[in-house]
Amino acid sequence: MNERTQKVRMICIVCPMGCELEAVKKEGTTEIISIEGFRCPKGKEYANREIADPRRVLMTVINVKGGHLPIVSVKTAKPIPKQILVYAVRAVSKIKVDAPINAGDIIINNLLGTGIPVVATNNVGKTD
Amino acid sequence: MKKHSTDVLVLGAGAAGLAAASKAKQLDAKNVVLLDEKEDFGGILPQCIHPGFGLQYYREDLTGPEFAIRLYEKTKSLGVKIYNSTYAMELLAQDDRRIVRAVGPEGVIEFRPKTVIFSTGARESHAFEIGIVGYRPIGVYTAGQAQTMMDLYGVMPGENVAIIGSGDVGLIMARRLALQGADVKAVIELLPYPGGLARNIQQCLIDFGIQLCLSHKATRILGKRRVRGITVIRVDENLREIEGTEFEVSCDTVIVSAGLIPRVELLERAGARMDPATRSVVVNELLETSILGVYAAGNALVINDLVDYAAIQGERAATSAVEYIRNKGSPPVDWKPVTKGRNIRFIVPHYVSGHRDVSFYGRVMQPEEEVHIKIPEIKTELHRIGVKPPEMITFTISKRKFEKLEDNRLTVSIEPVN
């Protein structure tokens, strides 16, 4: 059997240390053979996730009507698949909410069918 | 003119200032006043909408606005008096008296504080400070300005963007712009290594396929009315331009991310001793400046990688200020200077007593792998897998370790592991 392997290099984003990780996996699969370069268990976990199902927390801003600021910052409550980030921003950007908004308010219940909500991360008060 | 006596006057309601004001209150300082020039609290935090804040301070991953709200609510609940839209203009210090003049919505206020904490943050270097020539067309912003536009006011600075300098704010804006649909053409960095953290190279550039041009210099901004591009040239290891390597990057927007400079002009004018390496004040382990009863914390003291460090420094300064008030001054101490050894660009604090635990914050000049942070006078060797200029080195030396101190000074250096 001729099983080819593939090296995947990445920088860990868990903390500011920025460990340079190298994973070896079976070519064309997400099956990991080895991971090197991590300095803590979180780094190893990150490399595993990055190959099997890479995800990022999305942050952007949405328009607010009648607020002391024109926009409010939002984030996904959990990381979402990396490849849908750009579509997710487009979907979220279309939304307009009414002031007041409080940090933690749920803006979208289920973002693009991921089951993950989008929440406000700042307070925007009503203009008088 | 209103006159106002206070125990602790904190200048700047960012992470360091909010943490300082609440700590001072928690330590039973009676009258704590916090000033900020802006209408809102939080300093730069409200526009830093990305996660990654508070992993150390709160043991939670928060966005900038969330971190600010949490600190602010604590500060308010503790009864700190907050003046918004109030700008500190002048610090006068003589013997053990301090006066701060500020201007706010109700006019000039004169504060007579027992102690002052400068948590005034930093400003950004702009294009003219890094030797870029050209006209002054529309479309040139610092990274922080672009961030204010996008993430406080919802305005896109442009569609085709070149970023000059690879500091963290620039990298974070590269991602923000790419996410919002802009075409980020390139990030141009003069040095052979990036100015920002490695994790930001991954999640802000590599994730979005944005090109990072190391050892490249932006020489000119093109365009008269609106930016139409920049010229870029490769440089050699001595940062000399390599003839014949010049090219143009067409763009309608240029974002300059060339580093931060502590805002401590008032301290400098009042005669505080300065450190050219940090471009801020010289401090001892209490974060006390050379002006009695005046302290510095956060990015005003040293440009920090993490908000957590700024908040911790704010708390340190507040603890020192409350001790100063209790003891009616600083007790005499035989301060021992901390000197810079091999591959150290700066190290803060500049003086230690040897009588308490001290947290150090520093940066190296050159990237190196497999090193020890060495302090021979206390026989200390701390292993690091690698050091890089963009990554702050931090370590804490316990009081017990200082008992070994034989010399009248400490030398911090980076030495290769042999």
**Any chain B CB within 8 A of the CB of A65?**
no
Residues B254 and B279 in one domain: no
Kindly state the average pLDDT of the residues B306-310.
96
Q: Which of B36-45, B88-97, B249-258, B283-292 has the lowest mean pLDDT?
A: B88-97
Residue A73, domain member (yes or no): yes
Residues A49 and A68 in one domain: no
Could you tell me if A90 and A39 lie in one domain?
A: no
Assign B130 a pLDDT band (cuts: 50, 70, 90). Answer: confident
Nearest to A63 among B154, B385, B391 (CB): B154
Domain boundary among B308, B331, B354: B331
Look at residue A1 and tell me whether its pLDDT is greater than 60: no
CA distance B197 to chain A (A): 6
pLDDT at B71 over 80: yes
What pLDDT sits at residue A39? 87
Mean pLDDT of B244-253: 97
Looking at CA atoms only, how far is residue B315 from chain A in angstroms?
22
Q: For residue B162, give the nearest of B189, B135, B180 by alpha carbon.
A: B189
Q: Quick check: A11 and B46 CB within 8 A?
A: no
pLDDT at position B399:
94
Q: Are residues B119 and B168 in the same domain?
A: no
Q: Quote the pLDDT of residue A3.
A: 77
Give the whole-angstrom CA distance, residue B371 versus residue B417: 5
Give the CATH number for residue B16: 3.50.50.60
Residue A76 lies in a domain: yes
- In tens, the pLDDT along B176-200 reads 999 999 999 999 999 999 999 899 9
Q: Give pLDDT, residue A30.
A: 87
Residues B77-97, mean pLDDT to the nearest whole number? 94
Task: Determine which of A8-22, A50-64, B70-84, B242-256 has the lowest per-residue pLDDT on average.
Answer: A8-22
Binned at pLDDT 50, 70 and 90, residue A115 comes out as very high
Least confident residue range of A56-70, B80-94, B118-132, B292-306: B118-132
The pLDDT of residue B127: 78
In Å, how far are B228, B352, B382, B404 from B378, measured between CA atoms? 57, 13, 12, 5
For residues A72 and A36, membership in a common domain is answered with no
A71 contact B CB<8A: yes
Q: Same domain for B153 and B245? A: yes
Mean pLDDT of chain B: 95
| Cα–Cα distance for residue pair B226/A124, rounded to 1 Å | 33
Is the pLDDT reported for residue B330 higher than 90?
no
Q: What is the CATH number of the domain that holds A11?
A: 2.20.25
Answer whether B66 sits within 8 Å of A122, measured CB to CB. Answer: yes
Of the candidates A57, A82, A122, the beta carbon closest to that of B65 is on A122
Closest CA to B172 of B127, B140, B207, B138: B207
Task: Measure the CA–CA gap between B345 and B365, rounded to whole angstroms.
Answer: 5
Say which CATH number the domain at A109 has.
Answer: 3.10.530.10
Give yes or no: residues B145 and B249 share one domain.
yes
B294 touches chain A (CB under 8 A): no
Task: Find, in chain A, the residue whose alpha carbon is nearest to that of B154.
Answer: A71
Q: What is the average pLDDT value for chain A, to the nearest integer?
A: 93
pLDDT confidence of residue B1: 80
Question: Kindly report the CA angle at B266 between B265 and B272, in degrees rounded to 5?
Answer: 90
What pLDDT does B124 receive? Answer: 94
Report which secondary-structure segment, H or E, holds B314: helix B307-326
Query: How much is the pLDDT for A2?
Result: 58
A39: contact with B, CB 8 A cutoff: yes
* Minimum Cα–Cα distance from A120: chain B residue: B66
3-state secondary structure of B345: strand
The percent of residues above 90 in pLDDT, for chain B, comes to 89
Same domain, residue pair B18 and B167: no
Q: Are B268 and B252 in the same domain?
A: no
Beta bridge partners of B162: B186, B254
* Per-residue pLDDT at A120: 98
Nearest CB to B154 within list A20, A56, A61? A61
Measured between CA atoms, the residue of chain B closest to residue A61 is B151
Of B134, B126, B130, B90, whose CA–CA distance to B108 is shortest? B90
* Domain count of the fold of chain B: 3
Min CA distance, A14 vs chain B (Å)?
Answer: 8
Q: How confident is the model at residue B147 (pLDDT cuts 50, 70, 90)?
A: very high
| Cβ neighbours, 10 Å, residue B316 | 24
Where among B313, B331, B349 does a domain terminate?
B331
| Residue B133 pLDDT grade (very low, low, confident, very high; cuts 50, 70, 90) | confident
Q: Residue B372 has which token pair?
A: 């020890």
Count up the domains in chain A and report the number. 2
| Claim to verify: residue B243 and residue B267 sit in the same structural domain | no
Q: Which tokens is A97 given?
A: 């909410």
Q: Provide the pLDDT for residue B321.
A: 98
pLDDT at B214: 97
Cα separation, A63 vs A66, whole angstroms: 10
**Taking 90 as the threshold, does the pLDDT of residue B317 lie above it?**
yes
Compute the nearest-CA separation of B388 from chain A (Å). 10
Q: Which uninterrupted H or E stretch holds B170?
A: helix B168-179
B149 contact A CB<8A? no
**Cβ within 8 Å of A, B 357-416:** 385, 391
Domain assignment present for A47:
yes
Domain range for A90 is: 59-120
Quote the pLDDT of residue B36: 98
Enter the pTM of the model.
Answer: 0.94
Q: Are residues B4 and B116 in the same domain?
A: yes
Domain of B275 in residue numbering reads as 1-124+260-331
Find out whether A85 and A112 touch, Cβ atoms under 8 Å.
no
The residue among B383, B386, B373, B375 whose CA lies nearest residue B411 is B375
How far apart are the C-alpha atoms of B66 and B63, rounded to whole Å? Answer: 5
Do B85 and B132 lie in one domain? The reply is no
| Among chain A residues, CA nearest to B151 | A61
Tell me which residue of B416, B376, B369, B418 sits closest to B391, measured CA to CA: B369
Cβ pair B161, B183 in contact under 8 A? yes
The fraction of chain B above a pLDDT of 70, given in percent, is 100
